[in-house]
Amino acid sequence: MAEGRDGEEGELRYADIGINLTDPTYHGFYNHHSTPSHPPDLPSVLARAASIGVRKFMVTGSDLEQSIQAIELAKRYPGRCYATVGVHPCSAGGFEGGGRGEGGEKGEGGEKGGGGENGGGKGGGKGGEKGEELLKELEKVAREGMEGGWVVAFGELGVDFDRLGLCKREVQERWFERQVEVAVKVCFCIFLIPLVGDFGWEAMFEAISVCAAALCLFTRFPILSPLPNPIKNHTSLSPPPPPSPSTKLTPPPPKLQLPLFLHSRAAHTTFLRILTPHLPSLPRLGLVHSFTGSLPEMQELVSLGFHIGINGCSLKTQENLDVVRE
């Protein structure tokens, strides 16, 4: 039994941490049809979820436009919806003038199939000014959203070699690394802080979300270390001397404090090759969403400090079920 908000038994507390509420289906549009099949029903969806204990929703940003839409939803439903900001690997072509599904490649999926072996790369290579402008805009949107309390994670970003028809592998790799570099620069590091007010500090410091696109039960595993005690860590309670009038104080730029919301599909080796060099600069890491990898891959990610998200895609095969069982 999960504890309820006030400690009573029987009330389950869920959060959906990977929900695509910006999808047109919530406005009645299906399969790119211009005529809606039904009126917008997002309020009804949220109400039904609340009736079974789903308290929070982390709305996924898969590109810049959807990230902005996710923030608008967070503003419309404060305290219930929160947003991520980032570009999904299948949409990474947008950094180079394309879009989702444009500039893909034919061939076998997976890390050994389908063309380009050249990955990584820094800004200033392919994509040029357009890609760098998009990165700057992502950072700006994430920073403003975090300061407003609407953005709680940076992503969804990563690599997906099962769907190379949507975006070439070298494009995915290049812009995954560039997005991670943005995350490092602005120090995305703390997870779920906006949820603290509703659940309490002690509970939230012990909570970890374990489902991505499906409902996620907060279980009692550590995800955050306690905040430092400001009194205990000071050798003296005396205030510091004031600066002299001639001293000009320049406050440091604010740092974003968010985790990574990650995607890795049939690309484990490449995923870690790009991400591992940056781990010392990402002390709070994040979550690998919609996990479909093998048991050794899951164990390696956990050993590095990542959390694992499961959803329907994680439950399709016996191997998937064995991983989830572990």
Note the pLDDT of residue 212: 34
Compute the distance between CA of residue 140 and CA of residue 122 in angstroms, rounded to an integer.
Answer: 20
Q: How confident is the model at residue 153 (pLDDT cuts 50, 70, 90)?
A: very high
Could you read off the pLDDT of 156-192 as tens digits, one per residue?
A: 999 999 999 999 999 999 999 999 998 887 654 333 3
Mean pLDDT of 21-30: 89
Cβ atoms of 288 and 308 closer than 8 Å:
yes
Angle (deg, nearest 10), helices 268-275 and 295-304:
10
Q: Quick check: pTM over 0.85?
A: no
Instruction: Pick 206 or 99 by higher pLDDT.
Output: 99
Could you read off the pLDDT of 213-251 as tens digits, one per residue?
A: 333 333 322 333 333 333 333 333 345 455 555 555 555
Note the pLDDT of residue 162: 94
Mean pLDDT of 62-85: 95
Cβ atoms of 13 and 21 closer than 8 Å:
no
| Helix, strand, coil % in the chain, rounded to nearest 5 | 35, 15, 50
Instruction: Pick 127 or 263 by higher pLDDT.
Output: 263
Could you read off the pLDDT of 270-286 as tens digits, one per residue?
A: 999 999 999 888 877 89
Note the pLDDT of residue 274: 96
Could you read off the pLDDT of 301-323 as tens digits, one per residue?
A: 999 999 999 888 898 999 999 99
Mean pLDDT of 106-112: 58
Residue 54 in this model has a pLDDT that exceeds 50: yes
Instruction: Pick 253 or 216 by higher pLDDT.
Output: 253
Residue 27 in this model has a pLDDT that exceeds 60: yes
Q: What is the mean pLDDT of the chain?
A: 75
Q: Which of 39-48, 239-248, 256-265 has the lowest mean pLDDT?
A: 239-248
DSSP code, position 284: T
